Amino acid sequence: MIWQWVLFVAMGVLIVMSFITPAPQQQIGESSRIFYYHIPQAWLAVVAFATSMIYSIRYLKRREASLDDRAAIANALGLVFAILATVTGAMFAKVTWGTYWNWDPRQTSIFVLLLIYGAYFSLRGAVTGDERRAAMSAVYSIFAFPPAVFLMFVFPRLTPSLHPSDTIVDKNMKFAMTTDVASILFGSLVLFTVLYIWMFNLAARVYKMERARREDD
């Protein structure tokens, strides 16, 4: 598996680069290095949320159990990345704003994402019957998507926020992001996404084997 070693070395190089190059935001200083980890985590939390919605739609159309598995896996990984993004965000907030939590629009939207992930798994725990559980959680996943998207992408732009704008274009204008910073951030986004796909694939295979074993019994 050569690609695994490529990922291993590339991520290692990226980690070294993220610490030895000049800090991405000179005014904030050394702590701004957390950008290279915080942004990919937040990005993957959103990607996982969208993945789960897409698999939920496909489940309702095709009614295949493996599609429900994938929706659940995407939500589980999304929960992990959302927690990581929340924690790194709170750490950075403590250093730069002086408090861990102040209900900044960005913090509100990641908190809501966490609540949706939590609610999704509460629902799965409370419904009996494989098909009924799959259908109910798929419907909830799809239904929770539009208000959450509004909260993540529209609301932060309507309300004044202390959060450094997180799209790369905005950042470019605000921070005058150098090509070094941009390439490390881009590399980090790519490698974290590869990592996410790897984890997703492994979990999907485990679920598939478990299902096959249950059907054998």
CB-based contact 147:105 (threshold 8 Å): no
Choice from 65, 84, 123, 189 touching another protein (CB under 8 A): 123
Which residue, 88 or 172, has its beta carbon nearer to another protein? 88
Q: Which residues contact 117 (CB under 8 A, 6 or more apart)?
A: 49, 75, 78, 79, 82
145: left (phi over 0), alpha (psi -120 to 50) or beta: alpha
Minimum CB separation of residue 131 from another protein in Å reads 7
Q: How many CA atoms lie within 13 A of 172 on its CB side?
A: 9
Check binding of 1 to another protein (CB under 8 A).
yes
Q: Scan residues 92-111 and list those touching another protein (CB under 8 A).
A: 108
Minimum CB separation of residue 10 from another protein in Å reads 11
Q: Show the CA angle centred on residue 164, arms to residues 180 and 34, nearest 5°.
A: 55
Which residue, 3 or 169, has its beta carbon nearer to another protein? 3
Q: With CB under 8 A as the contact rule, which of the stretches 90-98, 132-140, 171-179, 181-189 interacts with another protein?
A: 132-140
Tell me, rounded to whole angstroms, the distance of Cα 131 from its chain centroid: 27
Q: Scan residues 61-90 and list those touching another protein (CB under 8 A).
A: none
139 CB neighbour count, 10 Å cutoff: 14
Q: Is 29 exposed, middle or buried (0-12, 13-18, 19+ CB in 10 A)?
A: exposed
Q: CA distances (Å), 135 to each of 64, 74, 118, 129, 149, in order? A: 11, 16, 17, 10, 22
Choice from 146, 157, 170, 186 touching another protein (CB under 8 A): 146
Q: Scan residues 3-32 and list those touching another protein (CB under 8 A).
A: 4, 7-8, 11-12, 15-16, 18-20, 30
Site residues (vs another protein, CB under 8 A):
1, 4, 7-8, 11-12, 15-16, 18-20, 30, 33, 60, 108, 112, 115-116, 118-119, 122-123, 126-128, 131-132, 135-136, 138-140, 142-144, 146-148, 150-151, 155, 158, 198-199, 202, 205-206, 209, 212-213
